[in-house]
Structure 1
Amino acid sequence: MIDRRQFQLFAASLVFGGAAVTSAARADGKAFRIAFQKGAGNLIFLKERGILERKLSPLGWSVTWTEFQAGPQLLEALNVGAADFGLVGEAPPIFAQAANANIVYAGYEPASPKNEAIIVPKDSTIATVKDLTGKRVALNKGSNVNYLLVRALEANGLEYGDITPAYLAPADARAAFERGAVDAWVIWDPYYAAAELSLGAKKIVDGTDLAPNVSFYMASRPIAEQNSAVLKAVLAAVDEIDVWIRDNRKQYATELAPKVGLPVEVIERSVNRAEPGARPIDAATLEGQQKIADAFAKLKLIPKSVNVTDAAWKVGQ
């Protein structure tokens, strides 16, 4: 649990955990700035194939790309005006909205609960969620897996205070996991698949029947309200590449692996657990997101309650 001042300090510091970006003005005034994570293979493919550049060029826009370690850092870049659009998990937008971030929900990818899990080292005696009592659990604060941990504990009669969270970005969490500095790690793909295949990590539970793991396309509010046609074109381009990935998963894994420096097997395992397909934001998806926001508010993981529909993109503005 953190108090309001601690939360504000945390939120303000997130941008420094990502790529080195600034809120300086765009070079040409018409550059659409995409923030992406290593796990967002569809956006990486979009970048490599130049699809978005071809779609936005007739509208007079160029495209720039910046990589971030995780969702919270990515959203802070959107909030401070250093990026326009990015893909994150369920929790980061809620933490960001609670910190008054100037962002909107623009679209989403279908639920992929098997793409996130609580894992333990291969020789660990921890076999169930209940065994996590009193244990040190690594996770990226405010990321999608924050909700998975909350739900897993709740479903097994435990409270958040029954474990000791170690808030670490994926690279630091992996290092801590390898050297035994934490007992478990709550993580998403491709980091999850990589830990399984290279470290022999064992899953004790994934998001199935606990956390849907919906990914959201978030946009800065100014870009959404002032450049609706551009944002629609971006989402159409994302869906185009998603359809190709869905129908060519093996080829996708083979082509993406060298671009992100991961084994083909890691990418293939990750994409086979996913359900690609960009969709416009809708009321039913926001309703599910509200349940997560309410759970975080109840646990005081965020400093105030939020209404997620306040951050929904009003298409056509």
Structure 2
Amino acid sequence: MIETRLKALGHTVKWVEFSLGPPLLEALGLGGIDLGQTGDAPPVFAQAAGADLVYAAAQEGAGTGSGILLPKGSPIRTIAELKGRRVAFAKGTSAHNLLVATLEKAGLAYGDIEPVILAPADAAAAFARGSFDAWSIWDPYLAIAEGGEGVRVLSSATDIARPNTFFLANRGFAETRPEVLTAALDVLDGVARWAEANRGEVAAILSKGTGVPLAATRRAVDRANYRIGPLTPQVVAEQQSVADRFHALKLIPKPIRIADAVWVAPARNG
């Protein structure tokens, strides 16, 4: 679909797969790719580092697809009991933001836990071995782990702060070829609307393509929001709170203003 639409505008589509948001945005900022999708934290780190990117669209999160997991046999019952514990997460990702926001709500500081920085695939294996006390993670890793015996969700993002997802574009691309970016987002919106109405088929396609068990994939798909829209004032404010949180923790080197990186689509004729 997107290939056909953009070919009419003189562009070919090349799909590039990334396992995490930070390397995707590094490629985006350098012009290696034009458009990509990530969670809430990666663009904050990228903008603070001077990456040349813009927020093109958003998918507002419900929060049910992200959470902090406890392994089988864990004695932990409250967030406060994470103090002094080893908590795994991928640095600079939405799971990082979820963790620090969760700690804040419980009156804990980031320094009250022992961070264990692991990519999701590595963390999944370590979680199964009981190598740390808790794991902040998103779907489908969350959905897969939830199927494990005795695994519990200590807290979900629904209880703390919803993790929005964003489509980001290279600024130069957005400014020089806005018609291409608009066309790409239109096609993605159509696919998203189809996905909302055909979750069973989406789960089957994703399970086959990724190798993730169908039951876990269906669990993740059923609680996902696929709808795509512009960044509303509320979404911008929520993303600004993410940026302010990371700056307060000195995890980014300077304060940033999210509104400065929000792309405004050109008015459509007719």
Calculate the TM-score normalised by the size of structure 1: 0.81
Alpha-carbon distance, 1:164 to partner: 0.7
Whole-angstrom CA distance in 2 between matches of 1:182 and 1:199: 17
Q: Which residue of 2 aligns with 1:306?
A: 256
Match of 1:269 in 2: 219
Distance between the aligned counterparts of 2:55 and 2:116, measured in 1? Answer: 29
| Cα contact 1:147–1:211 (8 A) shared by 2 | no
Aligned residues: 267
Alignment of 1:22-171 (within 5 A): 51-171=1-121
Cα distance in 2 for residues equivalent to 1:230 and 1:72: 24
What amino acid does structure 2 have at the position aligned with 1:244?
W
State whether residues 61 and 225 of structure 2, in contact with CA within 8 Å, keep that contact through their aligned partners in structure 1: yes
RMSD: 1.4
Counterpart CA distance in 1 for 2:59 and 2:217 is 18
Of 162, 172, 194, which residue of structure 1 is paired with 2:144?
194
Q: Secondary structure at the match of 2:224?
A: coil
Conservation of the 8 A alpha-carbon contact between 2:243 and 2:255? yes
Which ranges of structure 1 fall in alignment gaps of 5 or more residues?
A: 1-50
Per the TM alignment, residue 76 of structure 1 is displaced from its structure 2 partner at its CA by 0.8
Q: Which residue of 2 aligns with 1:278?
A: 228
Alignment pair present for 1:289 and 2:224: no
Structure 2: which amino acid aligns with 1:189?
Answer: D
Distance 2:149 2:205 in 1: 24
Match of 1:184 among 134, 154, 163: 134
Which deviations, in whole Å up to 9, do the C-alpha atoms of 1:53-105 show, x marking residues without a partner?
01111101110111111111111111122111111111111011110111110
Instruction: Tell me the SS of whatever aligns to 1:309.
Output: helix
Determine if contact 1:56/1:62 at 8 Å carries over to the other structure: yes
TM-superposed deviation, 1:129: 1.1
1:228-261 deviations in whole A, cap 9, x for unaligned?
Answer: 0111111111111111111111121122211111
Opposite residue 58 of structure 1, the aligned amino acid is A
Whole-Å Cα distance in 1 between the matches of residues 51 and 158 of structure 2? 30
**Aligned residue number for residue 205 of structure 1:** 155
Whole-Å separation in 2 of the counterparts to 1:146 and 1:307:
20
Deviation at 1:198, TM superposition (A): 4.1
What amino acid maps onto 2:155 in structure 1? V
- Distance in 1 (CA, whole Å) between partners of 2:151 and 2:180 is 42
Distance 1:115 1:86 in 2: 20
- Name which of 184, 188, 192 aligns with 1:242: 192
Q: CA deviation at 1:173?
A: 1.3
Aligned counterparts of 2:52 and 2:150: Cα–Cα separation in 1? 41
How many angstroms does 1:184 deviate by? Answer: 0.9
Once residues 59 and 198 of structure 1 are traced to their aligned partners in structure 2, the CA distance between those partners, rounded to angstroms, is: 48
Which residue matches 1:229? 179
For 1:240 and 1:215, the matched residues in 2 are separated by 17
Note if contact 2:37-2:167 (Cα within 8 Å) is conserved in structure 1. yes
Letter in 1 for 2:73: D
Unaligned runs of 5+ in 2: none
Distance 2:226 2:150 in 1: 27
Percent identical across equivalent pairs? Answer: 44
- Residue 178 of structure 1 and its aligned partner are, at CA, apart by 1.9
* In structure 2, C-alpha distance between the alignment counterparts of 1:52 and 1:198, rounded to whole Å: 37
Normalized against structure 2, the TM-score is what? Answer: 0.95
How far residue 157 of structure 1 moved from its aligned partner, in angstroms, is 1.3
* Partners of 2:169 and 2:43 in 1: CA distance: 10
Match of 2:266 in 1: 316
Determine the structure 1 residue equivalent to 2:166.
216
Question: For residues 252 and 241 of structure 1, what CA distance do their matches in structure 2 show?
Answer: 11
